[in-house]
Amino acid sequence: MNNLQVVIDAGHGGTDPGAVSSSGVREKDLTLQIAQYMYQKFQEAGIPVTLIRPSDETLSPTERVQRILNAYGNNPNVVVISNHINAAGSGIQGAEGAEVIYALRNNDTLAKNVLQALENSGQVVRKYFQRRLPSDTSKDYYFIHRNTGRTEPIIVEYGFIDNPTDLAKIQNNYKNYVDAVVNAVITTKRGGTVTPSVPGSTSGNTYTVKSGDSLWSIANKYNTTVNELKSLNNLTSNNLSVGQVLKVPGSSGSTGGTVIPTDNTYTVKSGDSLWSIANKFNTTVNELMKLNNLSNSNLSVGQVLKIKEGSSSGSGSSNNTGANTYTVKSGDSLWSIANKFNTTVNNLKSLNNLTSDNLSIGQVLKISGSSTNAPAETTENVYTVKAGDSLWSIANKYGTDINTIKSLNNLSSNTLMIGQTLKVPSSEASGNTYTVKSGDSLWSIANKYGTNVNTLKNLNGLSSNTLTIGQTLKLP
């Protein structure tokens, strides 16, 4: 890995909000969210990483540069990622997409790969480029390039805050975008390149129907329901044709569009590393090693690994609303699962052809052949602390903050123990409310919670069927 060390900058902060959308979203808050998640991802990859603005703090350019250079010294192995959201300003309309800006002293490889990765993750991309100071064209325009010694800095602009489409995409998909950037940095520093993804079966939030597919099999693959797929795609029948492109529920969590095989295993291919596999399946190297009893990180091509599905990550992950399947978590038993889904141990065993009561974490169980009323798993709000967790990483995972978790659990300190059980806010249905996500309609939400559009409208005093992303709805 050439001793890669990473410094993450969250653009702006404190008294400097950066760009602000017409709806009041501030760049400094988005960049902080992005930077914190990015920090977590590099940590999981085992790469030395420093986040130079971990909170909403005012930093002068001088202070910012100082922190960058203090992190790992002034050396070319240090990649500095300065995260920003663009703004086109008044008079310019419709600017859209990501940009990467690199320093005059560096070649374009890293910037090019990062931009390509962003494109592969579904974001519109514009260009990667250098920018010179007009008064002295031998120098970089931006201080983050100009004053950061021999480090390799890139500015990543994820999109335009003053373009509502871009803003919604960033808010919903930032984890995918960050995953892409992290992957590209690591790949580049290993001497690899990021190539355009082949337009194929899963790109962005669409799925191309293949021979043998049914709505049911696709719904199952994306942890959704046939009804939801039909409503997303305005389908009136269950017929599909090969090559048909379907919208699938946003993988705005961190699965990056990757689908966990239903048998929950993955066969190692050439070029894979534990890290790339962990990343692909929204888990961590440590979890994979534990799950597969690996004592080192060596893999061989063809080796079959058990994959653990990521514990419900941020909002938008559809992992846990499994209508017809349930992924076994630590502490589960057939009895507790049967109880949760109003069925019996015997039913579960026969449905899943189980001969014993043993379960393994990550195992996917069918719940009921035709079930619709399985309660959303997100109503169970317990998280078991794992190695490497912090209150911060857990809060981040559940879209909450440290104080909320501490007060939920009456914690007086920030110290956690491995195996400790914490109450956490449910990620999707918290209490009896639901937060509207991209692609939702009143109908799909009513369907998901076993109610109907009119009930939802009455409950929420809605006079029209229009929803806005981020809107909170009361549920019956």
| Residues near 285 by beta carbon (within 8 Å), at least 6 away in sequence | 44, 45, 46, 274, 275, 278, 297
Nearer to Zn ion, 86 or 368 (CB): 86
Nearer to Zn ion, 18 or 153 (CB): 18
CB under 5 A: which stretch of 7-15, 377-385, 411-419, 440-448 binds Zn ion? 7-15
Least distance CB 161 / Zn ion (angstroms):
9
CB under 5 A: which stretch of 11-19, 208-216, 346-354, 385-393 binds Zn ion? 11-19
Residue 265 phi, psi (nearest 5): -130, 165
3-state secondary structure 40-52: HHHHHCCCCEEEC
Nearer to Zn ion, 87 or 115 (CB): 87
CA distance 99 to 113: 12
Question: Do the Cβ atoms of 303 and 342 come closer than 8 Å?
Answer: no
Tokens of 19: 């760009």
Beta bridge partners of 326: 365
Binding flags for Zn ion, 35-74, as an x/- string (CB under 5 A): ----------------------------------------
Nearer to Zn ion, 158 or 266 (CB): 158
Question: Do the Cβ atoms of 121 and 97 come closer than 8 Å?
Answer: no
CB under 5 A: which stretch of 17-25, 165-173, 393-401, 460-468 binds Zn ion? 17-25
| Residues near 67 by beta carbon (within 8 Å), at least 6 away in sequence | 7, 50, 52, 53, 59
Provide the residue type at 344 as one letter. Answer: T
Nearer to Zn ion, 85 or 274 (CB): 85
Least distance CB 31 / Zn ion (angstroms):
7
Least distance CB 82 / Zn ion (angstroms):
8
Cα torsion 135, 137, 140, 141 to 10°: value is 40
Helices (H), 329-390: 334-340, 345-351
| Length of the chain measured in residues | 476
Nearer to Zn ion, 177 or 266 (CB): 177
Residues in contact with Zn ion, total (CB under 5 A)? 3
Instruction: Please measure the distance between the N-terminal and C-terminal CA atoms of the chain and give it in whole angstroms.
Output: 53
Residue number closest to Zn ion, CB atom: 84
| Residues near 144 by beta carbon (within 8 Å), at least 6 away in sequence | 9, 64, 65, 68, 80, 82, 153, 155
Least distance CB 86 / Zn ion (angstroms):
7
Nearer to Zn ion, 18 or 439 (CB): 18
Nearer to Zn ion, 88 or 408 (CB): 88
Nearer to Zn ion, 18 or 362 (CB): 18
11 makes contact with Zn ion (CB under 5 A): yes
Least distance CB 38 / Zn ion (angstroms):
15
CB under 5 A: which stretch of 79-87, 131-139, 250-258, 420-428 binds Zn ion? 79-87
Return the half-sphere exposure (C-beta side, CA atoms, 13 A cut-off) of residue 360. Answer: 11
Nearer to Zn ion, 11 or 316 (CB): 11
Least distance CB 265 / Zn ion (angstroms):
43
CB under 5 A: which stretch of 4-12, 207-215, 258-266, 447-455 binds Zn ion? 4-12
CA distance 366 to 243: 28
Question: Do the Cβ atoms of 123 and 159 come closer than 8 Å?
Answer: yes
Least distance CB 85 / Zn ion (angstroms):
6
In the block, residue with structure tokens 């799925």: 207
Provide the residue type at 42 as one letter. Answer: F
Least distance CB 27 / Zn ion (angstroms):
5
- What is the number of helices (H) and of strands (E) in the chain? 15, 20
Instruction: Please give the residues from 283 up to 322 whose contact with Zn ion meets the rule CB under 5 A.
Output: none
CB under 5 A: which stretch of 18-26, 115-123, 332-340, 381-389 binds Zn ion? 18-26
Identify the residue among 6, 13, 18, 440 touching Zn ion (CB under 5 A): 18
Radius of gyration of the chain (CA): 23
Least distance CB 149 / Zn ion (angstroms):
22
List interacting residues with Zn ion (CB under 5 A): 11, 18, 84
